[in-house]
Amino acid sequence: MNKDRKLIIAGNWKMNKTVAEALDLVHGLKRELAGVKEVDLVVCPPFTALSEVSKVILDSTLRLGAQNMSDQPGGAYTGEISAMMLKEFSVRYVILGHSERRQYQRESDELVCRKALAAHAAALKPIVCIGETLAEREAGSTEQVLDAQLKGSLAGLSKDQMQESILAYEPVWAIGTGRNATAEQAQAAHAFIRRTLAAMFDETVARRTRIQYGGSVKPANARELMSQPDVDGALVGGASLELRSLTDIVKNSI
Ligand code: PGA
């Protein structure tokens, strides 16, 4: 495989793990993946574990991500977390517009876009999630949906900001279902996303921006998915909660 983009694999722990459980997993990851240089590795614990996890990974190649943040810098926003608060724990990445937030919290492309701009203003790298539902795929509108999400969620980003962002293509029907997109389906969607980036920004931005695949990534399918020319890593949910499966995904991807 000869890609000039470095693979990036992120574990999205969602609303799982106490502080003690998070520390247990992250100590294991540090032990097992200490020597891995070929892949950028990111763990995204719940907010409540960021502080303790950040201390453990300080002297390792693991990087810290958050699962969400506010588009506002501060003020009367009960229950929200700002970019600067994340920065206090050495957070480098933040997942934005995950389909669960789009679905349950009604997050729109416009809000995701404001969050992405706020992340960049604080020098956090957003991992912007997009993806179609099963009904949209079956109706043949996958590309239309991706095009609208890309244009809506990335409007106003500069070229530099875009290539410092990560995109995650996560077909909603593949998330947590055990049914991953085939390598061909993933490659086709990623190639479409890259073409769209070229039209929105330019060829250089399109070539440099990393696009992760997410949705039922497992040790058994990681190698095939990661070897697709336009797949530059994975956003892993369920399989990132367990040491063995996450380390095997990383090792199988190299
Ligand atoms: P999954 O979740 O790996 O459990 O399918 C992926 C995600 O939601 O990012």
Ligand 1-lining residues (CB < 6 angstroms): 12, 170, 175-176, 214-217, 235-239
Gap between the Cα atoms of 145 and 143, Å rounded = 5
Q: How far apart are CA 97 and CA 106, in angstroms?
A: 10
Q: Which atom of ligand 1 is nearest to the CA of 168?
A: 9
- DSSP secondary structure of the chain: ---SSPEEEEEE--S---HHHHHHHHHHHHHHHTT--SEEEEEE--HHHHHHHHHHHTTSSEEEEES---SSSSSS-TT---HHHHHTTTEEEEEES-HHHHHHS---HHHHHHHHHHHHHTTPEEEEEE---HHHHHTT-HHHHHHHHHHHHHTT--HHHHHTSEEEE--GGGTTTS-PPPHHHHHHHHHHHHHHHHHHS-HHHHHH-EEEEESS--HHHHHHHHTSTT--EEEESGGGSSHHHHHHHHHHH-
pTM summary value:
0.97
Q: Choose, from 21, 98, 100, 110, the residue flagged as catalytic.
A: 98
Residue 170 CA to ligand 1 center (angstroms) comes to 8
| Residue 170 annotated among the catalytic residues of the structure | yes
Q: Residue 40 forms beta bridges with which residues?
A: 8
For residue 240, what pLDDT is reported?
Answer: 98
Cα(113) to ligand 1 centroid in Å equals 22
For 76, the token pair is: 């009367």
Establish whether 27 is a catalytic residue. Answer: no
CA–CA dist 57, 145 (Å, integer)? 37
* Best mutation site among 96, 216, 218 for ligand 1 pocket (most ligand atoms within 8 Å of CB): 216
Distance 11 CA to ligand 1 centre (A): 9
What CA–CA distance (Å, rounded) separates 226 from 232? 7
Pocket test for ligand 1, best of 13, 67, 236 (most atoms within 8 A of CB): 236
pLDDT along the chain (254 residues), means of 10: 85 98 98 93 98 96 97 98 97 98 98 98 98 97 98 97 98 95 98 98 98 98 98 98 98 96
Most ligand 1 atoms within 8 A of CB, residue of 68, 96, 170, 221 to mutate:
170
CA–CA dist 82, 103 (Å, integer): 21
* CA-nearest residue, atom 2 of ligand 1: 237
Query: Which residue out of 132, 170, 203, 224 is catalytically annotated?
Result: 170
Is residue 172 a contact partner of residue 99, using CB atoms and an 8 Å limit? yes
pLDDT at residue 2 in the model: 53
Q: How far apart are CA 144 and CA 166, in angstroms?
A: 20
